Structure 1
């Protein structure tokens, strides 16, 4: 019984090219009571591996959070399998606005304590007592209300390349960091303001809305389906698009463009740019924004030091890393003293 990937990312990429089959990038989540996450994890891997599904899936006792790439010809079989699971029947699937057949190159189904790392003690509040879900049309009306506070529940590197006009965009590294910061900023308006939240696909707002209601906020709303679903509804219904720029996504695409607005800047030279890259020095791997000119000049590295290391042979780089743990920069997103124009 195969419960692991037999192919490397490079081998899988070659097979995808050879097959020439269209693939659909999509995501979904749901909170549910899963008694045995390990059995459920194995069940998913076995069935999805047979369908050549790729992606990153987190399973916990509280539910499932999935970002996937599904072969287009096998989509109906995939959907049929989802519907065979009681708590996933008719679950909303957020189909990516921009498709890429190599958005994921491995199938990873991992067991986690939580499907989103929020650092909260769920025992102190009712996670099912959520805010009011609103569609794109109602969302547009709400955020025009002067008594509304619109909050981006994503991290700094996500909102930097795209966000809704007039939104509060906390300069935080983690979802957990934003929760207390927002509560403190709005502590005097828990009853007289409408708190409207949004995130990528909606999952962070599910937990945040329940948390803020527990904290005393009386009027809590969340954008159903997040930015992904909003963009779809705006296009299909001909609504005014109040989002600017790109929507950051957690796969090889890194982002999908929602509007032509470029609201970010290259972290190295300050020119208008909203393209995220990872530093080519594998010992660094820092995620940052880099324009084409800087990418060429720096060989897609974040600093001169990394550029020099990256120019060495693979064996020389490997020797330098020998016996050393990962640099903290590997886990950072756009936070480094070498990035002169990070704002």
Structure 2
């Protein structure tokens, strides 16, 4: 029985184009106690492969986190399958506002230690004892209250291109980095302030809300469904949109527009820009913001050095990225001294 992806991204792209079907980009998560994640993972892979689902799904003892793409005409079948799993019945599905049939090109279902890496070893922490979920209307009311502390639970490269008005956007690389930093900054307000958090789809701030309740914060809230669901609600209900810029997403689109405002700059020339890309030098693959002019000038690379490397024959490029220490430089998220117009965290 096939329990892993056999097709390359290019082969899958060609099949999608030949099929000519509209696909939906969807994300969902659920914290739950899963006794045998590997068995559950195999069950998901067989079902999703049959349903032509593509995407990235993580399974752990603490639950499931999924970002995926499905044929629009198989949505009901997909929903019925999820509803047949007791802890996923009627799970909230965040459907992207901007669709791309090629948002995902492979099916990857992986077992992880946790669906959100947090670095915590506290056995008394109960991730299901979460804060109060609020919709867009209540969220707008809360963040207008001067006794509210609004925290962005995402990483620096996400909040750089878009965030809510008056939100604190910690300059962190990972979720685990943020937990202690945030607590240290606002620990004096455990009893006298409302702590309101948001993230892309809700999964990180749900864990964070449970953690801060565990640490003694008394009035803890999270935006239900994250920025994705907020955007849907303000659009459909005609509410005031308090989000500025774009929402970073973890698929080939990299972002979707929430407002028309551009709040970030090209990391190479400094002109207004909010389009992320990955450096075309495979030995770098740095995620950074690049405008169309710089994209043309540097041929989608982050620096003069990387631009020179992609001119080399393929075998020479391959040799440059060989070895353990060279590979450590790959897949960094917007931290490089080569980027003139990117602020760098000081350790």
TM-score calculated relative to the size of structure 1:
0.98
Question: Is it true that 1:337 corresponds to 2:333 in the alignment?
Answer: no
Cross-structure match for 2:98: 98
Secondary structure (helix, strand or coil) at the match of 1:12 reads helix
CA gap 1:325/1:51 in 2 versus in 1, 3 angstroms: farther
Confirm or deny: 8 A CA contact 2:321 2:327 kept in the other structure.
no
Q: Offset at 1:249? A: 0.4
- TM alignment of 1:48-63, pairs within 5 A: 48-63=48-63
Q: Offset at 1:311? A: 1.0
Secondary structure (helix, strand or coil) at the match of 1:195 reads strand
Aligned length: 343
Question: Is it true that 1:44 corresponds to 2:37 in the alignment?
Answer: no
Q: Offset at 1:327? A: 3.6
Confirm or deny: 8 A CA contact 2:31 2:127 kept in the other structure.
no
Question: Is it true that 1:196 corresponds to 2:196 in the alignment?
Answer: yes
Cross-structure match for 1:20: 20
CA gap 1:34/1:326 in 2 versus in 1, 3 angstroms: farther
CA distance in 2 between partners of 1:168 and 1:269 (Å): 26
Secondary structure (helix, strand or coil) at the match of 1:124 reads coil
Pairwise CA RMSD:
1.0
Secondary structure (helix, strand or coil) at the match of 2:236 reads helix
Secondary structure (helix, strand or coil) at the match of 1:108 reads strand
Cross-structure match for 2:173: 173
Confirm or deny: 8 A CA contact 1:280 1:301 kept in the other structure.
yes
The 10-residue stretch of structure 1 (221-230 or 115-124) with the greater mean CA deviation from structure 2: 115-124
Confirm or deny: 8 A CA contact 2:248 2:255 kept in the other structure.
yes
CA distance in 2 between partners of 1:224 and 1:320 (Å): 45
CA distance in 1 between partners of 2:5 and 2:175 (Å): 30
Confirm or deny: 8 A CA contact 1:26 1:93 kept in the other structure.
yes
CA distance in 2 between partners of 1:52 and 1:106 (Å): 10
Confirm or deny: 8 A CA contact 1:25 1:99 kept in the other structure.
yes
CA distance in 2 between partners of 1:102 and 1:122 (Å): 40
Secondary structure (helix, strand or coil) at the match of 2:69 reads strand
Unaligned runs of 5+ in 1: none
Q: Deviations over 1:95-127 (max 9, x none)?
A: 001000000000000000000111112513222
Cross-structure match for 1:6: 6
Confirm or deny: 8 A CA contact 1:56 1:108 kept in the other structure.
yes
Unaligned runs of 5+ in 2: none
Confirm or deny: 8 A CA contact 1:329 1:336 kept in the other structure.
no
